[in-house]
Amino acid sequence: MADYIFWLVVTVTVVSAAVVVLNSQLIYSAVALLFTLFGVAGLYVFLWADFIAGVQLLVYVGGILVLIIFGIMLTNRISSVRISHKSVQQGVGGAVVVWLFIFLSIVVIKTPWLDQPAIEPSSSVGKVGTLLLTKYVLPFEVVSILLLGALIGAAVLSREDT
């Protein structure tokens, strides 16, 4: 049963990611990105990362996707034209990407990956919080400064009278 759900999640993720990059209507791409992000959150659940799955839903689906849809609304005349966008160089780009995917597949298959047995933790929140405030406290603080700088920078850039 869990196997079927896993492959369903994988199918939803991959197909909607393909729709994101191939569809010519921008708003359809945004909606397909929603399903991709949900699918990736499902993969996190299968990987026993419940906290990261929750953060993915809150930040990506609740924040970044809404920002992207705001961007689409603000940069197109909704009432006058259909929001479409053409792709360029799809043949050459497709060839490069297929080559890249074959290369990555060879790497994935040939490498003898470390596979240690593990038991499923009851919750990952406490462990992640402990690591954030002990071993990884410097990256945590640096990323908080980055977030503050991005917040101020975005506000300054978006003001009318700069």
Neighbours of 75 (CB within 10 A): 9
- C-alpha distances out from residue 25 to 2, 40, 94, 129, Å: 34, 23, 19, 41
Q: Which of residues 69-88 bind other proteins (CB under 8 A)?
A: 70-72, 74-75, 85-88
Q: Which of residues 4-63 bind other proteins (CB under 8 A)?
A: 6, 10, 13-14, 17-18, 20-21, 26, 29-30, 33, 36-37, 40, 43-44, 46-49, 51-52, 55-56, 59-60, 63
Q: Which residues contact residue 137 at a Cβ distance below 8 angstroms, ignoring those fewer than 6 apart?
A: none
**For other proteins, which is the closer residue by CB, 18 or 78?**
18
Q: Which of 79, 81, 119, 138 binds other proteins (CB under 8 A)?
A: 119
If binding is defined by CB under 8 A, does position 67 make contact with other proteins?
yes
Q: Which of 79, 80, 122, 157 binds other proteins (CB under 8 A)?
A: 157
Identify any residues that bridge with 84 across adjacent strands, giving them in sequence order.
25
Q: Which of 8, 82, 105, 123 binds other proteins (CB under 8 A)?
A: 105
Among residues 65, 56, 6, 45, the alpha carbon closest in space to that of 123 is found at 45
User: Alpha-carbon distance 13 to 54, whole Å?
Assistant: 17
Write down the residue that tokens 């050459």 correspond to.
92
Q: Which of residues 132-151 bind other proteins (CB under 8 A)?
A: 132, 135-136, 139-140, 143, 146-147, 149-151
Q: In the bound complex, what is the minimum distance in angstroms from residue 80's beta carbon to other proteins?
A: 13
Q: Which of 79, 81, 115, 138 binds other proteins (CB under 8 A)?
A: 115
User: Alpha-carbon distance 6 to 9, whole Å?
Assistant: 5
